[in-house]
A and B are shown apart, each in its own frame.
Chain A
């Protein structure tokens, strides 16, 4: 009765997030096997299970089968339903780990997403909620997803104990617009958020000062905010971090952040963040490395027109992502060195959008 949809095989635990996302968006079932088969703790980790849980909650009709050993996974995607959701993230990964795939799915849901996530808000592995709010969400605006797009940081939570809470609101769209972003522009402003919870509030000011000592030479339009959370809202563990972003005249955004390490002075953390921001800026391009996959995905899902974007060289994740996009959506990117890029190794990514229309959106 049901037509046998072609099952797509993947192996390994790497890139599991974007594979799940692509499967749900394309509607093609996938099977991922050989998930840490040789590890002393084989199979899926707790945060991966948690991710599968939240994906199941956010969709309707999704069937997830995990083998007994946990080393294989079968996903038959349903439709993205959205709506109000609450999820407790495990303390092994930060909220950013879960938000990353959900941001890709949220615009194509049936109902606008109202997601509450609890857990660690800033850590070393994934984008902190500050950067997601100030950098990732503006990237979605390039594709016409803007009204009602919001990330509210209710409480901050530092590792290891967490205790943070964020609200993510995302509108639904019928179709994302085609991107044509080839002019990186020049940096016109720098913003930053320094926060310090359950430590001396002076820490954030110290970070700001250290960062300004480097950045002041470039442009005057620098605002670094000290974000204060008190009492209950400041989570369960002490910690501080500085996240910086530089915006260009064509609203290309570069970002960097550094978090507190034991035994490291806040000034050093600030300098680390500042320098990595400068490194990002020097790399150039219209989209930074961390948002390559998001932007490329939205380009694939755009209307049946040619979208173009100028970026740096693909990262590991991006290369695998492009391959997975090819196997699930059939879209191939044209990647050529950007003209007028000179010595810098910037590339022009262009593709023909698949004309993806939000099927889930109801008309009634």
Chain B
């Protein structure tokens, strides 16, 4: 019985128990509130504090990010590092990772699609300091490459300092060549040491990647994948300078100068150049000047937005979460020649390697070549193809579409029209409008037209589509009708000259001949040439009739910005309309307008006034009670017709309103519903505002600011989104960041094209209006602590400030007690000082760095100083101290004659009343010039001066920086890192082989100071006796006689004698002991000295060994580089 197994417990599957259990289980899984509750008050307090701290770390100064979120420009990723560190390898690996293509030659910017919302532009930065500066100004993410087997190099530190002064972008460090360190322990130590150094340079915890060896000319795929993941999730904080300037990294440069001009000028003429790239920063407006660092300020001739060569996947092309393989293949690198096809605004260039012959099938063909060959295969033109095919627009239509040649003028065309009209049946003509003007342009307008004049409804024979390219910028489409004289003229011109194919229906034109008959209707068809003169003759008539027939909406933007009418004309035409409208209303007002007209003829002189003169007669209408009552609704007390103002929500008001608005809106049900919905939304908003106040007021300042910015950005996006004409839109808001544009630049120095090198980045930075000007710039400057020399006033210095790099001569100064700006000859050690130089205006609070030289052969650290711009002015107030010295000529009591300070009486006169001082500190004043020795003068002092005193006058001499501005035009050189500007004096002397001039008076000599003897002070006896005791001289002669204590004799008792003798003995013993001890000590010391000497020698040996080891490693590295260079051609230059 016992061995029978017990029945296993079966939990009940249904019933009350099961329900209960289910509930319990659920409870267990849910969040337990008590689990994270603090157990003690102290802990609760600590947790609270931590939470607040965490909240605070989230906060930053709210900055507007002007880069659009929906279509951002590609993130610029620069790969920077010393030569031979593996930059190109990394670039190729990354491009391979994103596009599955292996670039043979990676030059210039390479844009790839990295994700659904992110594109990356990779650019490799060469070792030239100019390139590093330029790249540092635009880069979003730096991949800073460090040779792990060697350590940091000077260029890396220089680059980091450049970055720091131009707003610090994100930096990821990458350690390479780690496979060269064989020992694991050494590798670990190296990594640790380099990481520590890197962290101190960037910030604690900065990301550092480790790349091991190279496989198949690339870094290992897993490591690159990890790196790319880091890059793809990186967030970027807007940097102030970049968020206020538009800029682009040119990925293409084309020379548009006519070849003939180049030939005749032997390539020396200024060029017209186009650059291409994605806009970053802010909107690029029309009319802004641009600066290309290394070239100079250039005028933008035109900007055109091009199709995105490397588009982000949009909703249509990509519905999946991940990027498809097809998108992954997109790479845009015009300078690297991927695929060999280049798309311009109106042309496609195909680059063919070597010779290209058709039929050579064994040669692999690129995309471009295939395209050309396909084109060659085509035997018939597009026209023929269309003609052959019979396209029917509708299944029911009897005739097919016909291609018609339109090269002839309007006359010819017109004939054709009438012929067509004769031929066709003329029954179903009006029903179909294919490419009619009215149809293609504006349906609403068509409606307008067809209402008043029955003739126009039939007139649908316009078969030529109007070209939108030359249409004047306009906002509302409906405004097309308000064509003014000048404007319509231009359209005529255009349509006369054009010739293109068009497609139209055969049987549309029925009533074409009737055109001319009723052309004094509001017929403004710009097609018919014959109408032109007549139309023009009748223009006033036309205007009148049209205005009387329908309400006009004027396109103010067009009238103001693109018509030649004077303001008065614009307004008067408006007035005319008004007057015509009001003519019917009242005759009184008509009278007023007559008066006004007569006024306007002779008020030539009083135009520049703010107030228009009051016209009592015009204001007479306000005597009328009705008129007075008519504006009651504009006051808060008045009842309103507006829906949104009646927010009280009481039933009475609402019903009243409905009653009022009912009859007006019955015609349009839909609009009423819309209005109702809008009203409801408004009411809801008001309600929310009123009752949700406590929660919304809870929002802190930070969130509030963020919301405000978001709202404004939303408004920025929405406001001009309605403008469909891209030209008008560009006119109003410029080209938004993320657009791929082509910028045409005029008067570009030919050297830019002749010495173009794709490895040097070309940056196009937009300038603000203020930045085109020049002035004195005051900066706060500090010599870099790694720069070994001090900086001297009036020595040339190369600044990298804003977009520009330029050489100028600064004057250093310090604020002297807030009284004056005092010139400093040299920059102080470890301290900021002011610097003032002549240069381009830059907004205050923008950082800069300065260099003495940019060439790579300069030894040591090249960043000479860093700082920030403080002030811009047209004049400076820097003074330097000037001391004039003189000596007394003759001394009276407190008056003295001083000579040798000035050379003429005139100079003295200039300084009358000036404060002077002696070296001993006696103050005085210049009084008047003396006649005799020229330049001598009388001066008074607060005390009697001595003949040996030097009198000096301290004055301040104001100085101004030299107006020297020399842009660094490194991109124009054939050897781009050999730019040399103004040299230092010492450099010039060295180059010219001159010695430093030695002024004899300036040499330092030994200063001989003869001992001065002062006579003893003698006080007359009479005076002495009159003095009080305290003031009497108390010097007494030394005592000549011996005192009692000195002359007494001492006789000792025997006891005393004994004691004295004992003491003497003890002292003698002690002396001996001390002497012996000393001897021993010196012996010991000698031994110790010998021992340490021995050890030091050993250490020296060790050090020597170590140094040897280090040098060997360095030697190996350079050897390896040399080998690599030989092996992989000349793409990596060792400088």
What residues of chain A have their CB less than 8 Å away from a CB belonging to chain B? 1-3, 5, 13-17, 26-28, 60-61, 78-79, 96-97, 100, 110, 124-127, 178, 180, 186-188, 214, 217-220, 249, 257-258, 272, 274-276, 278-279, 281-282, 284, 289-290, 303-306, 308, 313-317, 319-320, 322-323, 326, 329-337, 347, 350-352, 354-357, 359-364
A29 to B843, CA, bound (A): 20
Q: State the CA gap A147–B964 with chains docked (Å).
A: 40
Nearest CB on B from A12, distance (A): 9
B416 beta carbon closer than 8 Å to chain A: no
Measured CA separation A180–B645 after assembly (Å): 19
- Judge whether B622 and A278 touch: CB under 8 Å: yes
Which residues 816-859 in B have Cβ within 8 Å of A in the complex?
834, 841, 843-845
Complex interface: stretch among B202-210, B388-396, B632-640, B940-948: B632-640
Query: Top 5 closest A-B pairs, CB basis?
Result: A61-B874, A330-B287, A362-B871, A319-B567, A335-B556
For residue B262, give the distance in angstroms from its CB to the closest CB of chain A. 24
Q: CB distance A125 to B609 under 8 Å?
A: yes
Query: Does B631 interact with chain A (Cβ within 8 Å)?
Result: yes
- Asked whether B571 lies within 8 Å of A315 as measured between CB atoms, the reply is yes
Closest to B473 in A: A332
Instruction: Report which of A27, A218, A352 forms a contact with B635, defined as CB distance below 8 A.
Output: A218
8 A Cβ contacts from B695-721 to A: 712-713, 715-716, 719-720
With A125-B609, A186-B634, A306-B719 given, name 16 new contacts (CB 8 A): A14-B607, A27-B770, A124-B611, A127-B611, A186-B636, A249-B636, A257-B611, A281-B631, A308-B719, A329-B769, A334-B732, A336-B476, A352-B733, A356-B770, A357-B770, A364-B778
Q: Does B619 contact A (CB under 8 A)?
A: yes
Does B614 interact with chain A (Cβ within 8 Å)? yes
Which residues of B are found within 8 Å of A363, using beta-carbon distances? 844-845, 868-871
User: Contact check: which of A17, A306, A355 meets B720 at CB < 8 Å?
Assistant: A306
User: Which of B636, B731, B868 has most A Cβ within 10 Å?
Assistant: B636
Which residues of chain B from 755 to 790 have any CB-CB distance to chain A below 8 Å in the complex?
A: 768-770, 772-775, 778, 780
CA distance A114 to B611 in the complex (A): 25
> Please, what's the 1-or-0 string for B462-506, where 1 marks a CB less than 8 Å from any CB in chain A?
000000000000011000000000000000000000000000000
Q: Does any Cβ of A come within 8 Å of B297's Cβ?
A: yes
Question: Which residues from B are CB-within-8-Å of A2?
Answer: 774
Rounded to whole Å, the gap between the CB of A170 and the closest CB of chain B is: 18
> Taking the complex as formed, is B561 at the interface, i.e. its CB lies under 8 A from any CB of chain A?
yes
Selected interface stretch from B226-234, B278-286, B314-322, B533-541: B278-286
Closest to B709 in A: A305
Inter-chain contacts of B734 with A (CB < 8 A): 352
Q: Are A359 and B872 in contact (CB under 8 A)?
A: yes
The docked-state distance in angstroms from the alpha carbon of A79 to that of B776 is 11
Q: Which residues of B contact A61 (CB under 8 A)?
A: 775, 873-875
CA distance A355 to B834 in the complex (A): 28
Q: Which residues of A contact B768 (CB under 8 A)?
A: 354-355, 357
- 26 intermolecular pairs with C-beta atoms under 8 Å apart: A27-B773, A79-B872, A96-B610, A110-B873, A127-B611, A257-B611, A278-B628, A290-B611, A306-B715, A313-B574, A315-B571, A319-B570, A320-B567, A322-B560, A330-B285, A330-B288, A332-B731, A333-B560, A334-B475, A335-B557, A336-B556, A350-B720, A356-B769, A359-B844, A362-B871, A362-B873
Min CB gap B443→A, angstroms: 19
CB pair B560–A305 under 8 Å, yes or no, is no
Q: Which of B285, B645, B769 interacts with A26 by CB under 8 Å?
A: B769
Which residues of chain B come closer than 8 Å to A322, judged between CB atoms?
560-561
Inter-subunit contact A354/B769 (CB<8 Å):
yes
Which among A308, A326, A335, A357 has the greatest number of chain B C-beta atoms within 10 A?
A335
Whether the Cβ atoms of B66 and A272 lie closer than 8 Å is no
Set B636, B723, B870, B871: member contacting A219, Cβ < 8 A: B636
- Complex alpha-carbon distance, A128 and B755, angstroms: 64
**What residues of chain B lie closer than 8 Å to A315, measured between beta carbons?**
571, 612
Q: Please, how many angstroms separate the alpha-carbon atoms of A360 and B611 in the complex?
A: 32
Scoring A272, A315, A319, A322 by chain B CB atoms within 10 A of each residue's CB, the highest score goes to: A319
B353 proximal to A (CB < 8 A)? no
Q: What's the least CB distance linking B763 to chain A, in Å?
A: 19
Q: A143: shortest Cβ distance to chain B, in Å?
A: 15
Q: Which of B732, B778, B964 has the most CB of A within 10 A?
A: B732
The residues of A that contact B712 with a CB separation of less than 8 Å are 178, 305-306
Contact A334 B870 (CB under 8 A): no
Question: What residue of chain B has the Cβ atom nearest to residue A14's Cβ?
Answer: B607
Among A1, A249, A304, the residue within 8 A (CB) of B283 is: A304
Binary contact readout B720-734 vs A (1 if CB under 8 angstroms, 0 otherwise): 100100000001111
Looking at B560, B713, B778, which has the most chain A CB atoms within 10 Å of its CB?
A: B560
CB distance from B946 to the nearest CB of A (A): 45
- Distance in angstroms between the alpha carbons of A26 and B772 in the assembled complex: 10
Q: Note all chain A residues with C-beta closer than 8 A to B713.
A: 305
Chain A contacts for B14, CB-based, 8 A: none
Tell me, in angstroms, the Cα distance from A260 to B966 when the chains sit together.
Answer: 62
Q: For A17, A257, A313, which residue has the most chain B Cβ atoms within 10 angstroms?
A: A313
Closest to B642 in A: A340
User: Residues on B close to A: CB < 8 A?
Assistant: 64, 66, 244, 282-283, 285-288, 297, 475-476, 553, 556-557, 560-561, 567-568, 570-571, 574, 606-614, 616, 618-619, 622-623, 628, 630-632, 634-638, 640, 645, 712-713, 715-716, 719-720, 723, 731-734, 768-770, 772-775, 778, 780, 834, 841, 843-845, 868-875, 963-965
Q: How many whole Å from A287's CB to the nearest CB in chain B?
A: 14
How far is B571's CA from A5's CA once the two chains are assembled, in angstroms?
34
**Do A16 and B608 contact each other (CB < 8 Å), given the known contacts A27-B773, A304-B282?**
yes
Contact of B608 among A13, A274, A352 (CB under 8 A): A13
Report chain A residues within 8 Å CB of B282: 304, 355
Chain B's nearest CB lies how many Å from the CB of A349? 9
Q: Is the CB of A217 within 8 A of B628?
A: yes
In the bound complex, residues from chain B placing their C-beta under 8 Å from that of A27 are 769-770, 772-773, 841
Enumerate chain A residues within 8 angstroms of B732, measured Cβ to Cβ.
Answer: 332-334, 351-352
In the assembled complex, the Cα of A282 lies from the Cα of B618 at a distance in Å of 14
- Residues of the A chain whose Cβ atoms lie less than 8 Å from the Cβ of B568: 316
| Pairwise interchain contact B631-A355, C-beta atoms closer than 8 A | no
Closest chain B residue, CB of each to CB of A333: B557
A3 to chain B, nearest CB (A): 6
Contacts of B557 in A (CB 8 A): 332-336
Q: Is B607 within 8 A of A126, CB to CB? A: no
* Docked CA distance A290–B201 (Å): 58
The residue of chain A having its C-beta at the shortest distance from the C-beta of B711 within the complex is A180
Asked if residues B571 and A319 are in contact (CB atoms below 8 Å), the reply is yes
Residues of chain A contacted by B640 (CB below 8 angstroms): 186
Residue of B nearest to A274 (CB): B622
Q: Is the CB of B610 within 8 A of A127?
A: yes
Partner of B632, one of A78, A126, A218, A336: A218
A5 touches B610 (CB 8 A): no
Q: Closest B-chain residue to A278, C-beta based?
A: B622
Decide if A281 touches B634 in the complex (CB within 8 Å): yes
Q: How far is the CA of A188 from the CA of B723 in the complex (A)?
A: 37
Our pick among B64, B609, B870, B874 for the contact of A78 (Cβ within 8 Å) is B874
Contact of B874 among A60, A187, A290 (CB under 8 A): A60
CA of A274 to CA of B716, assembled, Å: 40
Contacts of A276 in B (CB 8 A): 614, 619
Name the residue on B nearest A183 (C-beta): B644
Give the chain A neighbours of B607 by CB distance below 8 A. 14, 316
Least Cβ distance of A359 to chain B in Å? Answer: 4
Contacts of B567 in A (CB 8 A): 316-317, 319-320, 323
| A275 and B608 contacting across the interface, CB-CB below 8 Å | no
User: A155 to B286, alpha carbons, bound, how many Å?
Assistant: 48
On chain A, the residues within 8 Å of B571 by CB distance are 313, 315-316, 319
Q: Give the nearest-CB partner of A326 in chain B.
A: B561
A14-B608, A218-B637, A278-B631 given as contacts; is B244 within 8 A of A304 (CB)? yes
Min Cβ gap B681→A in Å is 14
Q: In whole angstroms, what is the CA distance A332 to B719 when docked?
A: 14
